[in-house]
Every structure is written in C-alpha cells, then in structure tokens.
Amino acid sequence: MNKEQYLAKRNELIALAQTLIEEEKIEDAEAKMKEVEVLDAQFEQACKAQANMNALKERAVVSNIAAKSVNIDGFVVDKLESAPMVDEKKAYLNAFSKYLLGRQLEESEKAVFDKVNKEFKNTVQTASTHTVLIPETVRDGIWQEAGEMYPLLKDVSMTFVPGDLTIMKETDSGDDATWYDEESQVQDGDFGLGELNLTGCELAKAIPISWKLKKMSVETFLPYITSKIAEKMGSALAKAIVAGVGKPGIGDEFKPQPKGIVTAIEVEVNTPQVVEYAAVNGITYDDLADAMGKIKSAYKSGSSIYAKSTTIWGQLAKIKDGEEKPLFIPDVTKGGVGLMFGLPVKEDDSVGENEVLIGNIAKGYVINVNENMTIYTQDHVKARYTDYMGYALIDGDVMSTKAFALIKQEAEV
C-alpha cells in the first residue's frame, strides 16, 4: 500500500465514522475509528521497514580481497586503488544521525561534522555548542512532511533568504489606463506600493526521547525524530499562517509570530472578506457563493478551500444546489479530498472550528525562513531522556487580503 492509497483509505474511514456519529451509531463509529488507528500503525511500520531496507541497500559491500590480491616476493597484498571521492553531504548525514543517538563518531565523520558546523556557526554568528545544523536532505524532508500534514503550509510561497527581507506589495492598484487624444493631458494615477518587512520570529519545539528509545538503529531513529519535528513545528507554522497575531505592540504580551490570514482579514474596516452564517442554518450554498465573489478574479486560479475534517464532512459535503445535487464532488486527484466550485477542498487542522478559508495561498501570502532549521540537544541524566529541539527563524505576512475569503459562524449574543 503506497501513501496515496493509505490516505484515500484513511479519509474513507474517517468519513464513515463521521456519518455514523451523526446517525448516533456511536459504537459503530468507534469501531471505524479503531480501524483508522490500526491503519495508521500498519502504515508507520511499513515506512520504518522501508527505511531500514533502503539503508541496507545503500550499505557498502565488503570487497573480496582474495579475488583482488597479487603475490609480490612471497607477500600477498591487495591491489592499490585511488581513494574514492568523499560525498560530504552523505558523510555529514551519517555523522549527524550518530550524533543524535550519542554514538561515537569515526575520525573521518568527526572531521566532516566539525567542519560543517563551524562554517554554519560562523555564518549565523552563534557560539552555542549545543546547536547542530540539520542536513539539507533532512531539512527538505521535514518541510515536505509538514506540508503533507498541513496542505495550507505546502501551498504557501516559502523563500529562504538569510536575515531580514523586505518585499514590495501593491496597496492601491489605481484606475485602469484610459484613452486620450493628442491635446489631452494624461491624469496622474493613484497607484501605491507598500512594504512587507519579514524579520525573524523564533519557532521552536522540544521533543523528549527516552534513552531506551534511542537504542533503535541509526537508520530508524532519524526518520522517527524528523517526523516528530515536522509534525510539531509544521502545526505551529500552519496555525500562524491562518491566525498568527504578528508582532506585539506596546502593552501586548504575546510573542512575535507571523501575521495570519484570518487576523489580517478580520481587522479590515467592515470586514469585506468575511461571510458569517447562523449556527442554526449551517453553511449554505449562498454563503459559499458569496465568499467566492469576494475573491479577486486574478487570484481565483490556484485557489483552494481549506477546513477541518469535521467541517468538511459535517457541513460542506452535505450542501446541495438548487436541484438537490451535492455541491461537493469527492476527488483526491487534485491534492485534496474533493472539489467545490471547481476548487480543491483540503483538510487542514490549522483552520478554526466551523470556519472555511478560501483563497490563493501561493499568491496571497509569503513566508521567509530567515534562518533554516537547526537542532539542539540536551541530556537529562537522572531522568534518562534527551531533549531534541528543532529551531528556526521564520516570518510571514499577507500580500493581499483580496486573495482570500473567510466563512465563519456568527458570534453568539
């Protein structure tokens, strides 16, 4: 069973469980949820087994010295061959993995490990002895896995420019060009530009791992710890893209974080990009149509519909058009779980409860990773566990609120 088959089966079971809950068949629903847990465990075991198999395939085969030897004056010696070129990235990956597990590094591994991290610390101007650069392939894997868990994060425009980054954005597109005759004077336009200043907000998550668990193989441990970091840091970043509060002002006590789409939409005068619905009615066809109308036409292509699984299967999947035909079309080929108004519908837990976010994340929002992901380690001898803390400097902001629309439940009076 490949990943696409696993996700399709999982979504199918979740949808059945949700239906059973709504039909008040609680025991049957719990049975389906147990099936989901079993399916998750089977897929995780399969992934670990595949990782171990890949490691075995890459492991070097011992040379057959007897077949290669020659006799010189009574002494049998191996043929001299030129030393193989060292793949520094692969060597660092092996050294990094052993470092995480507290295993002793060979001299060649230690030389590569120290060289890479010395260059890194000189670049970011840190003298910390506990921070270690995550290998490029592992970092890419963390971001990719986080994007698979949170589609909204996968769709965002992410750049990796060290230090602060200033991006120009349009604040007022002004009037269109017009036609003139030879004697007419061309009128000034009111076209305006603004700036997005992306600095660095600290994103960190510590994963405690028992020393007993660290007894697993190097090949198994690395996918395990990176998956945990991807899950936790991906969740925090995805939630910030949706509802991050930005930089604190005077008197604010929250920590600096990217500004979220919902945050930017809700502070606008008269909230033009928001559609509210009554809880008693739920989300209707008209609500969705109104929200689609609020998105600027230039952003329609490339837009998606994001919501929690409960909102998708509990509300969106049940909406019907004027002819009582379901508006939701199950379809996993477009990167989501279905289609509505021709847009992919994607399950994303970072969106609020009973809310639907529609928009073009790639064009309407930008993220810059000022300092890419590193990992810190700290041993706790008495408690016999090690903290592995993923750390990065990241900032993000909305390029244009016209790329988005939010459907949310009316506040109770």
pLDDT, position 177? 62
Secondary structure of the chain in the HEC alphabet? CCHHHHHHHHHHHHHHHHHHHHCCCHHHHHHHHHHHHHHHHHHHHHHHHHHHHHHHHHCCCCCCHHHHCEEECCEEECCCCCCCCCCHHHHHHHHHHHHHCCCCCCHHHHHHHHHHHHHHHHHHCCCCCCEEECCHHHHHHHHHHHHHHCHHHHHCEEECCCCCEEEEEEEECCCCCCCCCCCCCCCCCCCEEEEEEECCEEEEEEEEEECCHHHCCHHHHHHHHHHHHHHHHHHHHHHHHHHCECCCCCCCCCCCCCECHHHHHHCCCCCCCEEEECCCCCCCHHHHHHHHHHCCHHHHCCCEEEECHHHHHHCHHHCECCCCCECCEECCCCCCCEEECCEEEEECCCCCCCCEEEECHHHHEEEEEEEEEEEEEEEECCCCEEEEEEEEEEEEEECCHHHEEEEEECCCC
pLDDT, position 363? 92
pTM (predicted TM-score)? 0.68
pLDDT, position 137? 80
Average pLDDT by stretches of 10, the chain with 413 residues = 70 76 78 79 71 60 50 49 61 82 82 81 62 79 85 88 72 58 60 66 85 79 82 88 89 87 93 92 92 93 94 92 85 85 93 94 90 83 85 89 93 71
- The ranges assigned to domains in the chain are 3-50, 197-409
pLDDT, position 132? 78
